[in-house]
Amino acid sequence: MDELIQQIKEEIKSNWLKKKRPLLLSTLGDKFKTIKDDGEFKSIKNWTEKHIEELDAYLYKDSIKPEYIGLVPNGESYESKSTSTLSAIKKTETIDRKKITLDFLTILNDLEDEDLRRVVIPADIIVRLMK
């Protein structure tokens, strides 16, 4: 079992050096078939959690894609692109909506008085646009 743990430990580090991404648990069963020979084997995740200290790694779980679970070497940090991209999109979306609404109201301000009287926008709609 010690040899298997050492092989997986090396694979975690090698994968990190090459890809800078977690070694996915879903790949361990194919690469290391003897992992299932452990007498107390229930699942790869359970086995990994049991041997996490010996593997010198930690389990990474993606907050957006819960099926994305992998091992990252201790001392390294990983943030998935989906998580950082999604938060950046949400921030940009919020900023853009407010900016667009304010730009629209500024354009309305440039209308002639006669045209401006015809524009009726309920306040609750403006508030919703600003959120």
- Cβ neighbours of 24 (radius 10 Å): 14
More confident residue, 24 or 90: 24
Residue located via tokens 């361990």 = 28
Instruction: Using alpha carbons, select from 29, 18, 127 the residue that is nearest to residue 73.
Output: 18
Task: Compute the mean pLDDT over every residue in the chain, rounded to the nearest whole number.
Answer: 85
Residue 75 phi, psi dihedral angles, 5° rounding: 95, -10
Q: pLDDT value at position 113?
A: 87
Q: What is the mean pLDDT of residues 28-54?
A: 88
pTM value is 0.60
Q: What is the mean pLDDT of residues 53-74?
A: 90
For residue 28, pLDDT beyond 80: yes
